[in-house]
Chains A and B, each alone.
Chain A
Amino acid sequence: MKFRKLAIESREDLFFGTAPSPVTTRRGLIIGGGKVYPELNFTLPPMYINDETFPDIRNQYREIVRSALQRALELYSEGVVFEFETLIEMTRNPSYGIDIVKVMNEECENYFVKHGLKSEIRLTPNDLREFDRPPRQRTSGYLDAMLELFEEGAKAGGDLLSIESTGGKEIFDDALMHCNIREIAFALNVLGVRDMEMLWKRIVKIADSQGKIAGGDTACGFGNTAMVLAEKKYISKIFAAVVRIMTVSRTLVAIEQGAKGPDKDCGYEGVFLKAITGTPISMEGKTAACAHLSPLGNIAGACADLWSNESVQNIKLLADMAPTVYFEQLTYDTRLFNQAVASGKSDILNLQRYMVESDMYFDPQAFILAPENVIKISSEIVKGFNHLDAAKKGALKGLSLIEEAIMEGRLKSSEMEDAYIPLLKDELSSIPDSEDKFIAEMDGIIDNTKYIKEEYGL
């Protein structure tokens, strides 16, 4: 664990728009430097992706960016980040992805030169290694395609490099369905951490060699899968909240390896990363309901430096194409954030208070994201002897905060939910401080056919 103390120690210093280590982009956006900018995300409608359809696909991406930039001008927006999260075919065949980055970058550059409008592209190749079962995290040919897209996509105009890496997911998914917190710790905080170390070393090297910015990772496939299943009432919300906390030490590894932020939007663990490391973060809340439901609509914005919509299909709505519509929504939200910033800290904290208090007592997953709880939990995380111990300490702290709030009648819960608290406490407490001991314990329990130890350096 590289970070042993918090970059933001006081709850009053943890808020939107400002991060202790802001990031300045090529066209001059200062993320975390006192303003919140929109981060627009989009995907294609149902369609094939092949050589025949590619001209249309390229055109769709160009039009999405052009239309958003045009609307940005009309709304006097000061800047925007576009996230290009590739679809599988665009990573498997990196030339597709690279070509789309070029097209998007041409539009960004055009509006920058003509109008001074600042925009950047976050390039997020998807993690293809899951195609192999069990995945070959280090030796798969898919890794080569991912790294090629990072390398060439950065040259083509992708300035912020990010990924939703999936190391450990082959163990995590089943563990999640069974609510087995020890196996989840093994997946996230043993396997995931090792994979992140390997992967982010490489991404940072690519970014550094080109003067680009290594943004950050997200445990979307872990924490958000838990959140979505809890939202469907398939698993307990308290359990999902604990899983979220356990993603923190895993995602922190990107920054330990040299990522500078902004952390990715769908990583709600980003708020803990901001407190621990001071890097700026992207967050998504009510404006991401187009992609998934959540109990975090307002509170997610409390500490955001970029404000995102996660993903919306490029389809026509009554007003305009959906990405343009969502850009407008994000822009009005960021105007509000920035108006509070312009008015001073007490107004920032007032607006933040409304965001936080309107959500935090309805769901434990929202509760743990309240800035005062983020600071308390993060303070425990940085005491960890290693990433596993950090996850355990953070999770136990979060659990005790949740329990206290339920007992005091502040946080909504139910008997079904409450039953998880003692079970989780026992299971978490049974995780030894020594990582080697834990790995040895789990060796006889985890299905060894599902993952390849050597691919994680074990």
Chain B
Amino acid sequence: MEELLKQIAHCVEFGKINQASPYPPDMKGEDGADELTVRALEQGATAEEILTDALIVGMGKVGVKFRENKVFVPQVLMSAKAMSAAMAHLKPLFASGTAKRKGTFIIGTVQGDLHDIGKNLVAMMVEGNGYEVIDLGVDVEAAKFLSEAEKYPDAVIGLSALLTTTMANMEDTVKAIKEKDPKVKVCIGGAPVTQDFCNKINADLYSPDPQGLVEYLDELAS
């Protein structure tokens, strides 16, 4: 079993989704994360084992490479796709309550702001690291974050803004969330956002990149 989990981790690290997937070229024709996950379940591995000992290991390795500028985002996204292919087999088991995800992350671009490429990247990286992601999209009012936070009481919330003039809406959103429940963790990011601004508006984390956020979520989850 250990060898099989290693193979799944390898597929995730190098973005091998399934047998039909042509990427990466040197693994053409080989089984991918999809087929190997089915095999692992058939051989008695639990969903949590596969998630923890294979998928997250593979994503962790590609995450390190990305941080060290050894791969670009598309490679990370191929890894995330390989992980998703595996997760498709695990999700029914998580949904039935027999296994647990690492946590839930609610994310959106604040009201008045349409920019979402950074937000989408963060969402993909967080999901790829084993978290359930609730993506609320762009131009999200504070009330929407509050209602989602009610549905997912243990979730961490992420806010994104690219415009100096929507930073004020970010501040309002953090205030509304904290007024309702001071324990909810709120993370912020975006081009004009700084650590000083984070301190000023009483948010819990500012990260200039997705990796910093993933590390923070992992700390909270551990």
Contacts and interface: CB of A to CB of B under 8 A. Distances in A.
Contact of B72 (A43, A48, A133, A236): A236
B117 interface: yes
B138 A43 contact: no
Point out which of B73, B121, B166 has the most chain A C-beta atoms below 10 A from its C-beta.
B73
Given A89-B112, A174-B120, A176-B117, A235 B73 contact: yes
B72 A233 contact: yes
Given A133-B138, A234-B121, A235-B74, A44 B165 contact: yes
Interface string A164-194: 0000000001101111000000000000000
Given A89-B112, A173-B116, A234-B121, A229 B165 contact: no
A12 B192 CA distance: 41
Given A89-B112, A131-B139, A233-B72, A177 B117 contact: yes
Nearest to A44: B165
Contact of B73 (A49, A130, A131, A234): A234
Given A87-B165, A88-B163, A313-B164, A46 B73 contact: no
Given A133-B137, A179-B72, A46 B112 contact: no
A47 B165 contact: yes
Contacts of B222: none
Contacts of A233: 69, 72
Contacts of A225: 117
B168 to A, nearest CB: 5
A177 B116 contact: no
Interface in B113-143: 113-114, 116-117, 120-121, 124, 137-139
B212 to A, nearest CB: 13
A48 B168 contact: yes
Contacts of A234: 72-73, 121
A45 interface: yes
Contacts of B113: 88
A144 B70 CA distance: 47
B109 to A, nearest CB: 11
Contacts of B167: 46
A294 to B, nearest CB: 14
Interface string B200-222: 00000000010000000000000
Contacts of A173: 116-117, 120
A445 interface: no
A321 to B, nearest CB: 15
B214 to A, nearest CB: 15
Contacts of B197: 46
A193 to B, nearest CB: 22
Contacts of B112: 88-89
Given A174-B120, A234-B121, A46 B74 contact: no
Interface in A16-66: 43-49
Contacts of A133: 137-138
Contacts of A174: 120
A416 interface: yes
B74 A178 contact: yes
B176 interface: no
Interface in B59-118: 69-74, 77, 112-114, 116-117
Contacts of B165: 43-44, 46-49, 87-89
A234 B122 CA distance: 12
Interface in B156-210: 163-168, 192, 197, 209
8 contacts: A46-B192, A47-B168, A88-B166, A131-B114, A131-B138, A178-B74, A229-B73, A233-B72
A177 B139 contact: no
A130 B114 contact: yes
Point out which of A131, A176, A177, A179 has the most chain B C-beta atoms below 10 A from its C-beta.
A177
A233 B165 CA distance: 27
A161 B112 CA distance: 24
A47 B163 CA distance: 10
A173 B70 CA distance: 22
Given A88-B114, A133-B137, A234-B121, A179 B74 contact: yes
Contacts of B74: 177-179, 235
A64 to B, nearest CB: 14
Nearest to B171: A46
Interface in A273-316: 313
Contacts of A46: 164-165, 167-168, 192, 197
A226 to B, nearest CB: 10
B164 A43 contact: yes
Given A178-B77, A235-B74, 18 more contacts: A46-B168, A46-B192, A87-B163, A130-B138, A131-B138, A133-B137, A173-B120, A177-B74, A177-B117, A177-B120, A179-B72, A234-B72, A234-B121, A235-B73, A236-B72, A313-B164, A416-B70, A416-B72
